[in-house]
């Protein structure tokens, strides 16, 4: 509204004359659209830190300029009064009509201080044009709210809408529009107005005014410009949508939550492209490339949002709660969340409880959490533990709670038995919680009790439905009809000494200057048909699980150890692939078929290696049989080395049990050339399966392994830097780069630690119907074909080959192919569940074995550095455990994430990742598999320059 009443005095009066008071001085100003520019400086936005809202008495409505595009000054009060009295259709009092005299300058007020929008350019004012009040009011509203006004028709004049838009684009100066008025005082009268900015070079896209040679000062259309002016400034062709790769990279670099508007601004997208962007974001989310963060935000799957639901999993040695995210879609293990203690008067967080927490990253894969709201879920769905004195002690080391069992709810459980229980409702916040025992599983400490705990702890199904067992028992052998007869080919199985099923057999012979290799796999698809009871149970299990004392098979024993096991001298159905390689191991051709075979021998890796070293053959084989296998193996190995693959040497631990199930020893599992021979043959067959399905245009369940993430690589680089080892940038990373790293540490004390660090730095392999390649093997395509007895993915590949090659009626169905994405996600999770259960079992057996050696000292290396202590791994058997912070010398310990070190301020001791130490076993708990170590006061002198007796000393400050 135009101010009515007596004219203001002081600085308000001077503002009308085109001068501004600033710091006690009166200085002329120049108007450049919606920005204010001092005569001696750069433009300053209206939303600067010093901006303030306009007082009601200070607000001035600028009038429209003439065709020259100039802003008009406010007319004297007498002229305004006269104009108001003569006008009939004006909505705002004081706005001149078209026949009123035009002023050459216009006054414009900016937030924070009084500024003149333009100076008077002549002694006499030119006639002013009349404008409708509605555009002015809309412009004022747009300037105040930042939103474009709605279209409205002119109530005061007969002019058409297009003409009004054109005039507005040319003349709306000083109300947040995008006109480009020239401000050269010397030739302002003679130079026609610039209606659009002219940009050159880099300034054309940088969104800043062009100040070349001090000539034109042009203000671009700001965020408060109207929609019509922004539309006029847009290019004719909208920018292209970002690719999925570009959007994933943007999310990874954003470092936090982003919205659709953030992405649109970053890539310069228009409002017309919002729907396409929304669909692109939805596709990436479905592919696991983003995680929902709030209602409208997303984050990279490797990062957690600023607020997310978490579940308490236990406590650290200091008693502080540890949590994990409820929903985790990133690679590898979920990050660790260290929760802050609850405020005074609030009950402490317990294992299984869920809270909405504010999260703050504190390191790679680590977050600090603060409880925002408790959302329930305090009690787990079931409790697995040992019944002792009326209480249940959980077998999960992450659960610190204890459950009280009423005698009426004990279900006859006795002291020391492993039980399953369910929590009971309770309002108690402190002390043991009530529970009811539902099942007694066995006695802790008895043979097979360790694997029994692991099976139930990880939810692995171990009982087959009766319908599936009956179907398996009705199975019988196959005939040679419609199959290739391979019974005269001396195929042999080579497996571990403790193997319980034999699903692959191999044969090799010279083929000119190259080699002919035959790999035969048990024909599981013949017995496990789609949608049958066996198929449903195999899908649910996903794979077999191997424990030191038992196997939980994917198929009933009648098949896994019977008709689908390639026993020697027994006829079995098979799917086979015949491959031909040249002398350098390059594949020349392959051919798949369905056959019938008879295994010539069941050999172990140790037998084959011994025969190869001695240059002989087992008694059941013809002379030269093993030599021919090794000849083909050496050719394939040469091709692999030339290809440059990731070959990690992380020894597996083998638990040796006696007849009673007690642990005799835990030793590293030897890795022989015989192991690598079978591995090379199986890899070649798997590659052929993927290539054949692509050739047949059939669905394929690929085995994919993506390149390491940038976050993991940064942590690995920091670790390797402590050994003086470098890695190239992620975009130039190749598996052979890791091979060079492993070669540098081969034979050194750090070899095992570096191998484990490189392994942890890799992405986890997974199953997918979409091909991503296999980074570790340096292969463009890869699928699992060779173990359908123990992996459901291999069974799907067999069915796809049968359908594509028309080898029978039991091939892949359309419904099954449509479920490939869901099946891939499911069998990936079951595979990781099985791996976790197998590691858990080995840890528990190792703890049981080490419980007899409590108090002994061992040579070890620091394998982990955290804020609550250290982790050490023994050189003798690979046992690992924690060194609590409280067991270290009394000091203030500082954690350095970059160097992975823990340093004492007073003692000046430094414990770094990879340091050799002497550790004393203080505690071993077979029930949970946990071990606690204490570091000895004197450290081994062979450490990297560490003086005795208390470890490496930091240089004293001078």
Residues 6+ apart with CB under 8 A from 787: 503, 504, 521, 794
Say what the pLDDT of residue 716 is.
85
Structure tokens at 319: 């008693």
Residues 6+ apart with CB under 8 A from 397: 314, 925, 928, 929, 930
Residues 6+ apart with CB under 8 A from 404: 390, 391, 431, 432, 433, 434, 435
Q: Are 712 and 775 within 8 A, CB to CB? A: no
SS3 485: strand
Alpha-carbon distances of 283 from 245, 286, 305, 871, rounded to whole Å: 12, 5, 20, 41
In the predicted model, is pLDDT for residue 48 greater than 50?
A: no
- CA angle 454/456/460 to nearest 5° reads 90
Higher pLDDT, 244 or 841: 841
Mean pLDDT value across residues 881-886: 90
In the predicted model, is pLDDT for residue 130 greater than 60?
A: no
The DSSP H or E segment spanning 590 is strand 587-598
Alpha-carbon distances of 95 from 2, 67, 574, rounded to whole Å: 8, 18, 94
Alpha-carbon distances of 720 from 389, 496, 560, 709, 879, rounded to whole Å: 50, 35, 44, 16, 23
DSSP class of 269: -
Q: Which of 640, 636, 614 is nearest to 627 (CA)?
A: 614
Higher pLDDT, 518 or 259: 518
Say what the pLDDT of residue 294 is.
64
Structure tokens at 157: 């004049």
The rounded radius of gyration (Å) of the Cα atoms in the chain is 39
SS (H, E, C) 592-610: EEEEEEEECEEEEHHHHHH
What is the per-residue pLDDT across 162-200, written as a single tens digit (0 to 9) for each?
Answer: 444 444 344 443 434 333 333 444 443 444 444 443 334
Q: Which of 606, 576, 605, 604 is nearest to 591 (CA)?
A: 576
Alpha-carbon distances of 719 from 727, 764, 845, rounded to whole Å: 11, 20, 31
Say what the pLDDT of residue 678 is.
96
Structure tokens at 382: 């079931």
In the predicted model, is pLDDT for residue 323 greater than 80?
A: yes
Q: Locate tokens 């394939």: which residue?
A: 636
Q: Locate tokens 């002989």: which residue?
A: 616
What is the per-residue pLDDT across 630-667, written as a single tens digit (0 to 9) for each?
Answer: 999 999 999 999 998 988 877 788 888 888 888 888 88
Q: Are 576 and 519 within 8 A, CB to CB? A: yes
In the predicted model, is pLDDT for residue 934 greater than 50?
A: yes
In the predicted model, is pLDDT for residue 334 greater than 90?
A: no
CA distance linking residue 208 with residue 205, whole number of Å? 8
In the predicted model, is pLDDT for residue 1 greater than 80?
A: no
Q: Are 465 and 535 within 8 A, CB to CB? A: no
Q: Are 170 and 193 within 8 A, CB to CB? A: yes
The DSSP H or E segment spanning 899 is none
Q: Where are the alpha helices (DSSP H) in 72-119?
A: 77-86
Q: Locate tokens 């986890």: which residue?
A: 764
- CA angle 708/714/715 to nearest 5° reads 95
Structure tokens at 103: 């002023």
What is the per-residue pLDDT across 592-607, written as a single tens digit (0 to 9) for each?
Answer: 999 999 999 999 999 9
Strands 571-581, 433-443: pairing kind = unpaired
Structure tokens at 163: 């003409």
CA distance linking residue 596 with residue 523, whole number of Å? 9
């Amino acid at each position: 509204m135009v101010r009515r009443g007596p004219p203001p005095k002081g600085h308000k009066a001077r503002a009308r004359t085109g001068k501004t008071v600033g710091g006690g001085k009166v200085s002329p100003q120049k108007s450049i659209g919606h920005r204010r520019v001092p005569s001696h400086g750069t433009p300053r936005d209206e939303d600067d830190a010093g901006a303030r809202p306009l007082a009601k008495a200070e607000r001035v409505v600028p009038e429209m300029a003439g065709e020259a595009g100039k802003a008009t000054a406010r007319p004297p009060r007498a002229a305004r009064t006269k104009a108001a009295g003569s006008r009939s259709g004006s909505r705002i009092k004081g706005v001149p009509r078209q026949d009123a005299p035009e002023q050459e300058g216009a006054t414009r007020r900016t937030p924070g201080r009084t500024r003149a929008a333009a100076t008077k350019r002549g002694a006499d004012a030119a006639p002013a044009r009349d404008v409708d009040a509605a555009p002015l009011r809309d412009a004022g509203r747009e300037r105040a709210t930042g939103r474009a006004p709605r279209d409205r028709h002119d109530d005061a004049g007969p002019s058409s809408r297009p003409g009004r838009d054109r005039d507005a684009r040319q003349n709306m100066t000083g109300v947040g529009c995008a006109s480009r008025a020239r401000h050269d005082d010397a030739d302002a009268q003679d130079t026609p107005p610039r209606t659009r900015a002219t940009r050159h070079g880099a300034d054309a896209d940088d969104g800043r005014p062009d100040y070349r040679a001090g000539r034109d000062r042009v203000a671009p259309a700001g965020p408060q410009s109207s929609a019509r002016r922004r539309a006029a400034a847009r290019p004719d062709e909208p920018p292209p949508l970002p690719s999925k790769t570009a959007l994933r990279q943007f999310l990874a670099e954003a470092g936090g939550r982003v919205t659709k508007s953030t992405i649109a601004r970053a890539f310069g997208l228009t409002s017309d492209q919002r729907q396409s962007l929304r669909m692109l974001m939805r596709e990436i989310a479905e592919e696991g490339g983003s995680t929902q963060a709030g209602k409208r935000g997303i984050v990279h799957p490797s990062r957690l949002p600023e607020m997310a639901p978490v579940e308490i999993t236990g406590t650290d040695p200091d008693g502080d709660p540890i949590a994990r995210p409820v929903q985790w879609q990133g690679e590898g293990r979920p990050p660790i969340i260290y929760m802050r203690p609850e405020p005074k008067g609030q009950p402490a967080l317990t294992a299984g409880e869920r809270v909405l927490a504010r999260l703050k990253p504190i390191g790679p894969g680590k977050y600090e959490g603060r409880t925002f709201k408790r959302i329930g879920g305090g009690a787990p769905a079931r409790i697995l533990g040992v019944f002792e004195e009326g209480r249940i002690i959980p077998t999960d080391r992450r659960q610190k709670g204890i459950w009280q069992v009423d005698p009426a709810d004990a279900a006859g459980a006795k002291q020391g038995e492993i039980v399953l229980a369910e929590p009971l409702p309770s309002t108690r916040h402190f002390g043991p919680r009530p529970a009811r025992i539902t099942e007694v599983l066995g006695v802790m400490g008895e043979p097979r009790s360790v694997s029994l705990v692991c099976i139930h702890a990880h939810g692995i199904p171990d009982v087959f439905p009766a319908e599936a067992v009956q179907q398996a028992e009705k199975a019988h052998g196959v005939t040679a009809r419609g199959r290739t007869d391979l019974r005269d080919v001396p195929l042999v199985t080579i497996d571990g000494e403790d193997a319980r099923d034999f699903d692959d057999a191999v044969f090799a012979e010279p083929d000119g200057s190259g080699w002919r290799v035959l790999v035969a796999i048990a024909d599981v698809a013949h017995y496990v048909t789609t949608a049958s009871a066996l198929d449903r149970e195999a899908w649910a299990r996903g794979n077999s699980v191997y424990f030191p004392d038992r196997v939980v098979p994917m198929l009933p024993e009648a098949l896994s150890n019977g008709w689908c096991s390639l026993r020697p001298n027994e006829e079995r159905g098979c799917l086979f692939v015949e491959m031909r390689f040249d002398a350098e191991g390059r594949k020349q051709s392959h051919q798949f078929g369905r056959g019938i075979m008879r295994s010539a021998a069941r050999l172990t890796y140790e037998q084959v290696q011994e025969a190869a070293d001695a240059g002989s053959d087992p008694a059941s084989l013809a002379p030269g049989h093993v030599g021919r296998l090794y000849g083909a193996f050496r050719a394939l190995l040469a091709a692999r080395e030339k290809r440059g693959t990731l070959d990690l040497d992380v020894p597996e631990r083998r638990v040796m049990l006696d007849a009673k199930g007690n642990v005799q020893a835990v030793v590293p599992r030897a890795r022989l050339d015989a192991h690598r021979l079978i591995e090379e043959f199986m890899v070649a067959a798997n590659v052929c399966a993927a290539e054949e399905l692509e050739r047949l245009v059939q669905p394929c369940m690929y085995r994919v392994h993506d390149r390491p993430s940038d976050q993991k690589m940064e942590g690995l680089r920091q670790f390797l830097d402590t050994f003086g080892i470098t890695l190239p940038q992620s975009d130039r990373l190749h598996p052979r780069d890791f091979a060079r790293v492993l070669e540098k540490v081969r034979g050194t004390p750090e070899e095992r630690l570096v191998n484990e660090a490189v392994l942890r730095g890799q992405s986890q392999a997974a199953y997918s119907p979409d091909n991503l390649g296999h980074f570790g093997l340096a292969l463009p395509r890869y699928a699992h074909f060779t173990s359908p007895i123990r992996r459901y993915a291999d069974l799907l590949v067999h069915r796809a080959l049968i359908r594509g090659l028309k080898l029978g009626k039991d091939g892949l169905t359309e419904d099954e192919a449509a479920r490939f994405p869901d099946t891939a996600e499911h069998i990936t999770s079951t595979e990781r569940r099985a791996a976790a259960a197998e590691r858990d079992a080995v840890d528990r057996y190792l703890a049981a074995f080490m419980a007899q050696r409590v108090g002994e000292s061992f040579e070890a290396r620091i394998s982990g550095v955290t804020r609550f202590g250290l982790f050490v791994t023994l050189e003798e058997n690979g046992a690992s455990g924690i060194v609590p912070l409280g067991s270290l010398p009394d000091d203030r310990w500082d954690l350095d994430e970059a160097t992975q070190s823990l340093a004492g301020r007073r003692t000046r001791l430094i414990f770094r990742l990879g340091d050799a130490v002497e550790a004393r076993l203080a505690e071993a708990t077979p029930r949970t598999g946990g071990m606690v170590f204490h570091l000895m006061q004197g450290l081994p002198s062979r450490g990297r320059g560490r003086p005795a007796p208390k470890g490496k000393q930091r240089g004293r400050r001078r």
